[in-house]
Amino acid sequence: MRVEVVPRAPETVAAPLTAVLVAADRPFAELDALDRAAGGVLGRAVRAGDFKGRRGDRVLGYGGGWEEPAPAPVGARGGPDRVLFLGVGDSASLAREDLRRAGGSAVRTAEDHRVSSLALCPDHLGGAADSSRVQAAVEGLVLASWRFAELRSGQGGSGTKTGAGGERTPPPVETAVLVGRLAAEWEEPARIGHAFAEGENLARTLQARPGNVATPSHLAAEAGRIAARAGLECEILGPAEMEAERMGALLSVARGSREEPRLIVLRHRGGEAGAAPLVLVGKGLTFDAGGISLKPAKGMEDMKYDMSGGAAVLGAMMAIGRLALPVNVTAVVPSSENLPGGSATKPGDVVRSRAGKSIEVINTDAEGRLILADALHYAAEWNPAAIVDCATLTGACVIALGHHRSAVLGSDDGLVGELRGAGDRAAEPCWPLPLDREYRKQLNSDFADLKNVGGRPAGTITAACFLSEFVGSAPWAHLDIAGTAYGRTKKPYLRNGPAGVPCRLLLEWVRARAGR
Ligand code: BES
Ligand code: ZN
Ligand code: ZN
């Protein structure tokens, strides 16, 4: 989606739809000029008691644009064809998420009316339209515009394709204009919100691709394209390089598949040369059938999402590069399939990790921690300022926290606190679980240095405990996103399926570390 900022009175700006954010606690008289452009519908709705500016209140009016000989492009001089007054509640208590949802609702309304551009006006919020809220509104617009149509038949993608129920899908909403009197101050937050949301949209697209498209080598090729577009360095390790690096845990997972594994490294050098980097690690398991410890058939198609952590990290890196954030950031995405081929690792096999620790593979379905073990150990050698990994790691996390919050666990309480704050700002919240040394006992093996599963109790904690064995002394935290990375959560800026979580959480964290 293209986003522009137009510093003019909204009633003078041409648009097929102008969504006006209305605060409940400010004088509606400020909206008189806009209401005249909408045929007076707001005044009548207010007098009827139907519109009070509460969250969810909405009224649509029609402007004079229909008399024009030809529709003017969005942002040109003219006026709105349609005006949507969207209540957001009291300006004093507005959360960023209220603005994100309002932006999403505006885009859904544009889709309902089959128009491909819209304007959004936050003027009526007054001082509440600060940079964090403007950023959130733009995120809502751009996130809502995401769709995944590349595997459907039909030309061009606009309005000709049919959806799941056979209905005609509306044309994509391609342009949004932020319009208003204070627009000059909104350029920077709009740029940030746009980049963050486009990063997350990229993550969603990679997530949505099925396992026969998004293979490890596909992800590596995408990483190369992201690097070229965003000015990053890209390095890819294949099986030979992994052998040379003695990444026996990662290689053991790939053995059951014909697809070669890849380890993707992206570098953003935005900070001082030689300054310790922030490291983002994401699980890039492109299809998890469980290996020899085969998963049940029901719902197995969702295991194409087992690369969601890697997708979020790649999306975050695109935004970090494009925004040229003044900090050094390195991304590592270990990527493999987990299939039960004839050469697959078997339960009871012992493999040797890059760290030199031997691992008894009790259950080949606990593969995420194996590929992450070697990736984390590789990254820890760079003396990072902090390592944050994210992974669809355990079904136990879905039982513990459901689909609303990710789990966060780590060796550094300060870092865990930073991630909680970043998650709250992004509305991608996480909640801490403990990592006491007591849990390590569950990983004791009779045949190796440790085993890869710790039994049913505290499954999310023992998985994180396993990872902690490979991070050395670096400050490290782990996000288990098994319940949050995809699903059917209803929000106006989301669709069913991939959510892109925790891409914006990571971005909020990196940006805070960069002092921006
Ligand atoms: N990718 C799965 C975890 C998962 C489960 C993600 C459900 C999303 C939704 C992971 O590789 C896995 O299979 N974990 C096992 C570990 C167990 C064998 C110790 C699990 O959680 O059942
Ligand atoms: Zn698994
Ligand atoms: Zn998995």
Q: Among positive and negative, which fits the CA dihedral 262, 268, 274, 275?
A: negative
C-alpha 194/C-alpha 201 separation (Å) is: 10
C-alpha 457/C-alpha 226 separation (Å) is: 40
Give 40-94 as a 3 state SS string.
CHHHHHHHCCCCCCCCCCEEEEECCHHHCCCCCCCCCECCECEEEEEEEECHHHC
Distance from the CA of 287 to the center of ligand 3, in angstroms? 8
Give 180-245 as a 3 state SS string.
CCCHHHHHHHHHHHHHHHHHHHHHHHHHHCCCCCCCHHHHHHHHHHHHHHHCCEEEEECHHHHHHC
Distance from the CA of 366 to the center of ligand 2, in angstroms? 5
Closest ligand to Cα 396 = 1
Concerning whether 369 is annotated as a catalytic residue, the answer is yes
Which residue in 8, 26, 44, 295 is the catalytic one? 295
- Evaluate: CB of 392 within 6 angstroms of ligand 1: yes
Concerning whether 295 is annotated as a catalytic residue, the answer is yes
For residue 360, give the 3-state DSSP assignment: strand
- Evaluate: CB of 368 within 6 angstroms of ligand 1: yes
- Evaluate: CB of 469 within 6 angstroms of ligand 1: no
Residue type, 495: R
Distance from the CA of 349 to the center of ligand 2, in angstroms? 16
Pairing of the two strands 476-480 and 386-391: parallel
pLDDT score, position 157 = 47
Q: Which atom of ligand 1 is nearest to the CA of 459?
A: 19
pLDDT score, position 55 = 95
Q: Whose CA is nearest to atom 16 of ligand 1?
A: 366
Which residue among 300, 393, 451 is best mutated to probe the pocket of ligand 1, counting the most ligand atoms within 8 A of its Cβ?
Answer: 393
Distance from the CA of 88 to the center of ligand 2, in angstroms? 42
The residues that bridge with 317 in the sheet, in sequence order, are none
Which residue in 369, 420, 425, 511 is the catalytic one? 369
Question: 292 — phi, psi (to 5°)?
Answer: -60, -35
For residue 329, give the 3-state DSSP assignment: strand
Closest ligand to Cα 394 = 1
Distance from the CA of 30 to the center of ligand 1, in angstroms? 54
CB 288 within 8 A of CB 362: no
C-alpha 345/C-alpha 338 separation (Å) is: 10
C-alpha 351/C-alpha 265 separation (Å) is: 24
Provide the residue-wise pLDDT of the chain in tens; the chain has 516 residues: 999 999 999 999 999 999 999 999 999 999 999 999 999 999 999 999 999 999 999 999 998 756 665 678 888 888 999 999 999 999 999 999 999 999 999 999 999 999 999 999 999 999 999 999 999 999 999 999 999 999 999 754 445 556 666 567 899 999 999 999 888 899 999 999 999 999 999 999 999 999 999 999 999 999 999 999 999 999 999 999 999 999 999 999 999 999 999 999 999 999 999 999 999 999 999 999 999 999 999 999 999 999 999 999 999 999 999 999 999 999 999 999 999 999 999 999 999 999 999 999 999 999 999 999 999 999 999 999 999 999 999 999 999 999 999 999 998 999 999 999 999 999 999 999 999 999 999 999 999 999 999 999 999 999 999 999 999 999 999 999 999 999 999 999 999 999 999 999 999 999 999 998
C-alpha 206/C-alpha 227 separation (Å) is: 15
CB 125 within 8 A of CB 91: yes
pTM attached to this predicted model? 0.97
Omega of the bond leading into 216 within 30 degrees of 0 (cis): no
Task: Give the full edge-to-edge strand order of the sheet including 175-179.
Answer: 2-6, 175-179, 117-121, 18-23, 82-89, 58-62
